[in-house]
A and B are shown apart, each in its own frame.
Chain A
């Protein structure tokens, strides 16, 4: 593993630091929920937290709602299914254990039906074509089932820490709305009507009287024509069969909702240090507060750092200097390189180049410049083989052209990294100014992808290892 990048928390003195190990070690922490915008690293963070928790002695289970197979893959399992499976090779020494599972909506729904209805009724429900389609998980079902599953895992009491990953995209907090949506739907008069005329009495029935029965029959008539009489009949049979269970759904969803609000829960908002991602993070933070959900902090994932004590401007100037005065590479290679690099060089005017400067805006996109084509690079390497002099560092005049180019390239690379870093810090500080109360943990980007246990351990270590500050 390469050395730990330091991301220099410049200007962040007042922001509390998210103490990840403190959270993981606290036996009171029973549920952690990773939410955030698409692709920021929710699944990775959830898995990394699970691994770290287990290796610090906890019995943890990671529940992913993500339909893709990513979580399984990153933990070296080929498939995850609806029952928690032990992740081999994690936590043994510390007496901990890690399990992982992926929500299977249909299985979860089936299990509920089987658990709460007698055999005959269960079969009637399971064989109903409307049910088959509903449970296969169209919009909405996923969130109900996620709540159910979380409630089930918690009720089994086999794990002392449940880590929940949330689905990509859409509004990732939809599942917070699930109980309310389910409630208002089940309380709605419509479902009563569907469950049979006998049920249309009472309060719900009264509303219909106001609407006029004409409107209602017109609607059922319309639905019948629209969907075909068969489907509406299926729906009615289904609702009738499910009727007794619906109440249970709601009770359990409400209970899970309250569980999420309880002090044993910790929400982590994951974000990338980019403008849009942090804007969404701010939305999550506000939404969680509005729902009185306990926010533990923000994970700023994939931050960059550098151990090279050199500013972007100096690095660039030095690179240009090397290229201009450097030993001539007789092939076009040198020009190519400069062309590719220069596209994102703000012309220096003495002022510290801000990334927000107009030039920075114009920097890209030029990845398709011909200089960037493999052939151009091929030129360079064949030039090397064609006999660039062997460098003799002892001799003042014989740095090879290749060394000069390498030095210039490394400097350009560094300048680029410094610009990224500066932009990330600015974005982070903007968020911190908006939400100074939110504890932050920064996670440096790994050079490669995270796809195995060592990778997850590295992320876990980075999560926990924050520069000293006010522990949050």
Chain B
């Protein structure tokens, strides 16, 4: 199960994970449940029908199948399975019974979606082997995931007997077993991380197995810490000059090689000038570049500090953490393979 805050990359990560798990000739099923055709978009194919189809071949010849689960169709399947309704099923569709059942009946939609996924998990071929080595679901976002996965508990309580009761309990057994893992995708930003922390707590208290945190869209560091310290220091010097306050670390800063803001600035102007970016006299082009460049550096430092704090919060969860870098031009197909290789290299298969 792959969840996360909206827009953090659930669909992308779920697809990359399905590819990674299809390593070495294995077969995986990638499932989506929100009717948005996100998988088809990602793999640049036509809208997926309610049917499992091969959508990609992984490194080493493994196969990824995909399925967009449609609750209405799944309900008809169930009725068919249990009661052989045949054309009566279609009639029910017409009078709105199916609509009713999937729209308003308590959680039935979610029951059907999780039920279908569990069915795929348990399915075996004639020789008794599992049809899929892994099923990866592009699940609803963090805010809804616990309710979504827990719905079968609720339904088992409501429908106290009968096949639905049994079915709900069977699904819950799979979802709470060690065979299931809920992975949370996040960015290194406050709110997604906050949601991840809250989500992990909720999942844990509902007895649902939490797998890992996937930190998505991380960026390579472009400035080294020493330089950043200097840039930050410059901020400190500037702030101190402006407000008369003495920021923490100033004393130490004063002894650092580039401590004096003005000196650092002149040095930078000189360096820029040396590589042909204009004169380094005060007011020269190189000199004028320094201030805005440093400002960008400071913003960057601020961002990095924030990311570091978020990372620390994630680490505190005590879960395995995977990191996926920001693809330069959004998540296209080539990028997806790169992400899956990245997941594999980081040991996601273990």
Q: Would you call B206 an interface residue if the criterion is a C-beta within 8 Å of the partner chain's C-beta atoms?
A: no
Return the CB mask of B132-167 against A: 1 if under 8 Å, else 0.
000000001111100100010010001111111100
CB distance from B96 to the nearest CB of A (A): 3
Number of interface residues of A (CB under 8 A): 126
Pick from B94, B106, B107, B328: contact of A344, CB under 8 Å:
B328
Contact of B103 among A140, A208, A211, A275 (CB under 8 A): A140
The answer to whether B296 touches A68, judged by C-beta atoms less than 8 angstroms apart, is: no
* Residues of B close to A133: CB separation below 8 A: 106-107, 154, 158
B116 to chain A, nearest CB (A): 15
Least CB distance, B42 to chain A, in whole angstroms: 9
Given contacts A171-B36, A388-B257, A405-B227, contact A343 B220 (CB under 8 A): yes
Residues of chain A lying within 8 A (CB to CB) of residue B198: 68-69
- Report whether over half of chain B's contact residues are helix, strand or loop; otherwise say mixed: helix
Per-position binary interface string of chain A over residues 216-227, scored 1 when its CB falls under 8 Å from any chain B CB and 0 otherwise: 101100111111
Residues of B within 8 A of A130 (CB): 106, 158
- List chain A residues, Cβ under 8 A from B123: none
- Of the stretches A12-20, A86-94, A253-261, A446-454, the one at the interface is A446-454
The B302-335 residues at the A interface (CB cut-off 8 A) are 302-303, 306, 323-332, 334-335
Closest Cβ–Cβ distance, residue A177 to chain B (whole Å): 11
- A37-B6, A405-B224, A406-B231 are contacts. A393–B95 as well, Cβ < 8 Å? no
Once the chains bind, are B323 and A368 in contact (CB under 8 Å)?
yes
Q: Is the CB of A391 within 8 A of B36?
A: no
Interface of A: prevailing SS: helix
Q: Does B99 belong to the interface (CB within 8 Å)?
A: yes
Range class of the B interface residue count: 35 or more
Contacts across chains A and B counted by CB atoms under 8 Å: 340
Complex Cα gap A449–B96 (Å): 46
B338 contacts A by Cβ under 8 Å? yes
Cβ of B225 < 8 Å from any Cβ of A? yes
Which residues does chain B contribute within 8 Å of A404, judged by CB atoms?
271
Task: Give the docked Cα–Cα distance between A383 and B276 (Å).
Answer: 28
Asked if residues A190 and B100 are in contact (CB atoms below 8 Å), the reply is: yes
Whether, in the assembled complex, B241 has its beta carbon less than 8 Å from a beta carbon of chain A, the answer is no
With beta carbons under 8 angstroms apart, the residue of B158, B191, B226, B295 that contacts A380 is B226
> Does A110 have its Cβ within 8 Å of any Cβ on chain B?
no
Residues of A within 8 A of B339 (CB): 365
In the complex, which residues of chain B have a beta carbon less than 8 angstroms from the beta carbon of A356?
A: 329
A188 x B219 contact (CB < 8 A): no
Give the segment of A22-30, A50-58, A111-119, A304-312 that binds chain B: A304-312
- Contact residue among A230, A362, A367, A412 (Cβ-Cβ distance under 8 Å from B325): A367
A-chain residues with CB within 8 Å of residue B256 when the two chains form the complex = 384
Tell me which residues from 175 to 202 in chain B have a Cβ below 8 Å from any Cβ of chain A: 189-192, 194-195, 198
Give every chain B residue within 8 A of A190 (Cβ-Cβ): 95-97, 99-100
Do residues A68 and B142 form an inter-chain contact, with CB atoms below 8 A? Answer: yes
Q: How far is the CA of A137 from the CA of B339 in the complex (A)?
A: 35
Please give, as numbers and ranges, the residues of chain A lying within 8 Å of B23 by CB-CB distance: none
A223 to B5, CA, bound (A): 36
Contact of B224 among A69, A231, A380 (CB under 8 A): A380
User: Are A181's CB and B103's CB within 8 A?
Assistant: yes
Q: Is B342 an interface residue (CB 8 A)?
A: yes
In whole Å, how far is B312's beta carbon from the nearest beta carbon of chain A? 13
With a 10 A CB-CB cut-off, give which of A133, A139, A224, A336 has the most chain B CB atoms.
A139
Q: Is the CB of A372 within 8 A of B97?
A: no
A417 touches B296 (CB 8 A): yes
* B159 and A228 within 8 A (CB): yes
Q: Is A170 an interface residue (CB 8 A)?
A: yes
Report the minimum CB–CB distance from A315 to chain B (whole Å).
9
Which residue of chain B is the closest to A181 with respect to CB atoms?
Answer: B103
Check A228/B302 contact, CB under 8 A, given A70-B191, A169-B141, A190-B95: no
Question: How long is the Cα–Cα vector from A388 to B329 in the complex, in angstroms?
Answer: 39
Interface centre among B218, B227, B298 (most CB of A within 10 A): B227
In angstroms, Cα B78 to Cα A225, docked, is 13
Per-position contact with B for A302-324: 1 when CB-CB < 8 Å, else 0?
00001111100010011001100
Give the complex CA separation of A223 and B218 in angstroms. 50
The answer to whether A231 touches B140, judged by C-beta atoms less than 8 angstroms apart, is no
Within A137-166, the residues touching B (CB, 8 Å) are 137-141
Q: Does A433 contact B (CB under 8 A)?
A: no
| B325-A366 in contact (CB<8A) | yes
Cβ distance A132 to chain B, nearest Cβ, rounded Å: 9
Within 8 Å by CB of A73, from B95, B194, B226, lies B194
**A447 contacts across to B, CB distance below 8 A:** 299-300, 302-303
Residue of A nearest to B189 (CB): A449
- CA of A228 to CA of B41, assembled, Å: 40
Interface-located stretch among B46-54, B61-69, B259-267: B259-267
**Bound Cα distance A171, B6 (Å):** 12
B275 and A321: CB pair below 8 A? Answer: yes
Complex contacts, A392 vs chain B, CB 8 Å: 263
Given A2-B298, A68-B142, A190-B100, A406 and B342 contact (CB-CB distance below 8 Å): no
Q: What's the Cα separation between A232 and B163 when bound, in Å?
A: 14
Say how far B145's CB is from chain A's closest CB, in angstroms. 11
Please tell me if the beta carbons of B92 and A215 are within 8 angstroms of each other in the complex: yes
For the complex with contacts A38-B8, A130-B106, A407-B268, 10 further pairs of A-B residues with Cβ separation under 8 Å are A37-B7, A138-B106, A138-B109, A140-B109, A356-B329, A368-B345, A393-B270, A400-B257, A411-B293, A448-B303
Q: What are some 30 contacts across the A-B interface (CB < 8 A)?
A: A2-B298, A37-B7, A67-B143, A68-B143, A68-B198, A133-B106, A169-B7, A190-B99, A222-B82, A231-B158, A318-B277, A322-B271, A325-B275, A344-B328, A364-B338, A367-B220, A367-B325, A368-B323, A377-B225, A384-B226, A391-B267, A394-B266, A402-B257, A402-B258, A405-B226, A406-B227, A410-B223, A423-B329, A449-B190, A451-B191
Chain B residues within 8 Å of A, Cβ to Cβ: 5-8, 34-36, 41, 78-79, 82-83, 85, 88, 91-92, 94-97, 99-101, 103-107, 109-110, 140-144, 147, 151, 154, 158-165, 189-192, 194-195, 198, 218-227, 229-231, 256-258, 263-264, 266-272, 274-277, 289, 292-300, 302-303, 306, 323-332, 334-335, 338-339, 342, 345-346
The 10 nearest A-B residue pairs measured at CB: A38-B6, A39-B7, A365-B325, A188-B96, A168-B6, A393-B266, A133-B106, A367-B325, A38-B7, A447-B299
| A interface with B by C-beta (< 8 Å) | 2-3, 37-40, 66-70, 73, 129-130, 133-134, 136-141, 167-171, 181, 184-185, 188-191, 207-208, 211-212, 215-216, 218-219, 222-228, 230-231, 234-235, 272, 274-277, 306-310, 314, 317-318, 321-322, 325-326, 333, 336-337, 340-341, 343-344, 355-356, 360-369, 372, 377-378, 380-381, 383-384, 388-394, 396, 399-400, 402-414, 416-417, 423, 447-449, 451
